Amino acid sequence: MRQAGRYLPEYRAIRKTRSFHEVMRTPELACEVTLQPVDLVGVDAAILFSDILVIPEAMGLGLEMESGVGPRFDRTVRSAADVAGLKPVDPTVDLGYVMDALRLIRRELDGRVPLIGFAGAPWTLASYMIEGQGTKDFRHAKRLLMADPAAMTALLDKLTDAVGDFLVAQIEAGAQVVQLFDSWADALAPAEFRRFALPTYHRIIERVKPTGVPLILFARGAMWALPELAQTGADVLGIDWHIEPAEARRLAGDGVGLQGNLDPAALYLPPDEIRRRTESMIAGFGATGYIANLGHGIFQDTPVDSARAFVAAVKGHAG
């Protein structure tokens, strides 16, 4: 999941003099931060350093990263008129800095490990755009969904097209795997999930599929929908820590790869316990068609040695 970040002292050293936006928008800095977990922790793939909100920003919503608050947009999208006023996104132009970073990272990696790109899924992006920032109750987003489903559908349609184009552009710039994150899928009831989120996955995956590059789909909190997620055409499904590995495999079936799902909080445990839990997780998923990983992003105060212990446990697995 998230690799680079505040748990690494080397990243914090960069952020003392550079803002998040500056790091993300400067290919040389994004490259340096992307490579840190590869060089310092020993992970088996590099994940592009960027943010899921670059698409809403490119659509005309001013994005700020406020200390202690997180991302915040200058304006919100809460009506059909607001949706109509969003700018179309040309990823090679409006998000060219992402493509420049990918090309540079790919050169610097020189084949050591694969490079993974990513994008936020439409529902998660729409929620941020409607709320204006992170939220716990999704009140405004769900109000629009319930009161004006046509406006919500129009917004999701625009985002679906933009995300699909963005992922394809990342692949053309050098990404060897892409991930689609619906971090807030758990905010939707099953009926709304099937109506507003699931169709966007199908369309985005159809857009990416002709490239031949694998796509990982992660719908956090929607593990109940694994049988349906397995039918989207995704090559791999991300699994959060709210489900047992063996149950995830049973629900998803054998036709799709799985990734996950160690609770990130487990990295606060001693190294021996991290190793024991990692071994148990791998045994539950089975070694075939499986990517060992956390069940969500690593916490910012995770000891670096604990991240290394997890990676070592995976690489040392005897299966």
Instruction: State both tokens at 199.
Output: 């169709």
Which is catalytic among the residues 7, 128, 201, 290?
Answer: 128
* Separation between Cα atoms, residue 238 and residue 232, nearest integer Å: 13
Which is catalytic among the residues 25, 44, 51, 186?
Answer: 51
CA-based nearest residue to 238, from 158, 121, 156: 121
Q: Is 103 a catalytic residue?
A: no
DSSP sequence for 60-97: T--EEEETTTEEEESS---SHHHHHTPPP--HHHHTHH
Q: Is 316 helix (H, G, I), strand (E, B) or coil?
A: coil
Q: Is 75 a catalytic residue?
A: no
DSSP sequence for 24-53: HH-HHHHHHHHHHHHHHT--SSEE----TT
* Separation between Cα atoms, residue 43 and residue 37, nearest integer Å: 6
Which residues contact residue 244 at a Cβ distance below 8 angstroms, ignoring those fewer than 6 apart?
A: 284
* Separation between Cα atoms, residue 181 and residue 65, nearest integer Å: 20
Question: Is the link from the previous residue into 261 a cis peptide, with omega within 30 of 0?
Answer: yes
Measure Cα distances from 250 to 226, 233, 261, 301 in Å. 9, 17, 15, 34
Q: Is 274 helix (H, G, I), strand (E, B) or coil?
A: helix
Q: Is 11 a catalytic residue?
A: no
Q: Is 25 a catalytic residue?
A: no
Which residues contact residue 312 at a Cβ distance below 8 angstroms, ignoring those fewer than 6 apart?
A: 42, 275
Active-site residue set: 2, 6, 15, 51, 128
